[in-house]
Amino acid sequence: MSNLKLDTTDYFLSDKNAITVADRHPQPAFPTHSHEFNELVIVWRGNGLHILNDVPYAITCGDLFYVNAADRHSYESVNELELDNILYCRPRLTLFSDWDALLPGENIQQAQRYWRLSTPGMSVLRREVDALARECMKTDPLSIMLSEALFLQVALLLKRFRHAPDSLLLSDAEQLDLLLMALRVSINEPFRMEKFCQQHQLNARGLKVLFKQQTGIGVNQYLRQLRLCKAMDLLRHGQQTIGEVAAQCGFDDSNYFSVVFNQSFGISPRQYRQRFQKKNNPSLRDG
């Protein structure tokens, strides 16, 4: 496990600045690390794996997650991944506000720090994040105050536009939002694009093109990534057999699951499990 820890002095212009924006266009693969500050991450485009405290998440455009200073995380298998990291030091925030309600802290479970953003919300947020990025590059007192005010606005907008990844279809969601939510609830069951488009009166060809433009991969590839991501989590923490893991992740054939897993990660599911699970777990079953 890496001991890499990112220092506040390397990212913030002064000891008075409470916020800074680190744009990652693109975000390369990055090893496991922690930091002295907190951050919230907005994914604008592309796809990849985000490993947060040993839990893998398949991320793509519209994903939002909050990372606390005590967390360990890394980025793997990135593909045209573009995101903004908004870094902030909680002790330096001076503007009076209910920051605990806006920025999930250490007392909030990890699953409740991972969200989705609607397409209209992303359009609004992009302008505000760009304005914040410009202002936080200054160190005069007025700019520091303005940066914090803009940060508050971003935090409020995030709370307005975010929704749980597995929430029901939103009445005002756009085409891409509808498809992404449908895929996330189809990990362990078949997904039929034609049926989905007929149900929502959408053009399948146009939607596939839009999906590829925004995520960098096709619909079936992304669904497979979601399924493999769930498989990684089950293999790291669960006690199911390989066949049970395959079935829970939408693979009817455990042998095919093993082939796909090996092609994606260069290691078999059984070897992956052995790498991450404790050898002295007497209740571990394999097969």
Of all helices (H) and strands (E), which one includes residue 198? helix 193-200
> At how many degrees (to 10) do helices 219-237 and 254-265 cross?
100
CA 209 to chain centre: 22
Output the tens digit of pLDDT for each of the chain's 287 residues. 456 899 999 999 999 999 999 999 999 999 999 999 999 999 999 999 999 999 999 999 999 999 999 899 999 999 999 999 999 999 999 998 999 899 998 889 998 999 999 888 999 999 999 999 999 999 999 999 999 999 999 999 999 999 888 775 554 567 888 899 899 889 988 899 999 999 888 899 999 998 998 899 999 999 999 999 999 999 998 889 999 999 999 999 999 999 999 999 999 999 999 988 764 354 554 54
**What domains, with CATH codes, occur in the chain?**
4-163 (2.60.120.280), 170-287 (1.10.10.60)
Amino acid at position 147, single letter: S
pLDDT on residue 238: 87
CA 166 – CA 34 distance, rounded (Å): 27
Burial class (CB in 10 A: 0-12, 13-18, 19+), 69: middle
Chain segment 219-233, per-residue pLDDT in tens: 999 999 999 999 999
pLDDT on residue 119: 84
| Tokens at 246, concatenated | 């395959």
Residue 117 is given by DSSP the state E
CA 113 to chain centre: 10
What is each CA distance from 253 to 89, 183, 244, 250, in whole angstroms?
Answer: 48, 20, 10, 9
The pTM score is: 0.82
